[in-house]
Amino acid sequence: MTPLLSILRWLDRNVERAFILVAYASMAGIIIFAVAQRYLFSTQIPWSGSIPIYLFLWVTWIGCSYNVRRRSHLCFNEFRVRMSYQGQFACMWLDAFLWVTFGVLVVYYTLEQTVLAYNNFSIVQGTDNLMQWWFYCATPTAWILLMFRALQNLAADIGRYRRREPFIVDIQSVGSETV
């Protein structure tokens, strides 16, 4: 059971970073290859302009989830620091409520669009068999992860509240693993 727990802990810490790394590396590789091919051989792969755009969906929405996890996405700490302890706790609940509410709406409507692309057999421009819905899955997948991260943060906040520990995480320490 210990290897499974260590894998789950690693995924909890790194799933967003791994997705972002793969998507960015793929985007950069495609763009570099396409530019080299265009200028060196005067030819171009038809899909070299469309796939990086679709990969950008993964980067942006998974990045949003990562920043919610790190509490660096729309946090407004300047206001919260001046609030009472109970006011800060209420804001933490409000954060979780808003993220989950928006997440439910986003997942519902983007799944609808993803299913529409699936049912219409929409393919990526310039390809013969690469389906658009594979890329459109980025938005609902990332928002489900984002909602999970918001609930994780809320659970940590409830624990901090019970222990009377401070809530506000120093946003100036970007890059550190304080959350």
Q: pLDDT tens digit string along 9-41?
A: 888 888 999 999 999 999 999 999 999 999 999
Q: Rounded to an integer, what distance in angstroms lies between the CA atom of residue 31 and that of residue 141?
A: 25
pLDDT at 75 over 90: no
Name the pTM for this structure.
Answer: 0.84
How much is the pLDDT for 24? 94
Mean pLDDT of all residues in 142-150: 96
Judged by phi (left if over 0) then psi (alpha if -120 to 50, else beta), residue 7 lies in: alpha
Contact 150, 99 (CB under 8 A): yes
Q: Which amino acid, 160?
A: R
Predicted local confidence at residue 142, as pLDDT: 96
Average pLDDT over residues 32-53: 91
Q: Pick 54 or 166 by higher pLDDT.
A: 54
Whether the predicted pLDDT of 157 surpasses 80:
yes
> What confidence tens digit (pLDDT) does each residue in 98-120 have?
999 999 999 999 999 999 999 99
Q: One-letter amino acid identity for 37? A: Q
Q: Which three-class secondary structure state does DSSP give residue 137?
A: coil
| Cβ contacts of 145 within 8 Å, gap of 6 or more | 15, 16, 62, 65
Q: How far apart are CA 118 and CA 111, in angstroms?
A: 10
- Tell me the pLDDT band of 172, cut-offs 50, 70 and 90: very low
DSSP 179: -
Instruction: Note whether 27 and 9 are within 8 A (CB).
Output: no
pLDDT value of residue 169:
59
Lowest mean pLDDT among 25-34, 71-80, 132-141: 71-80
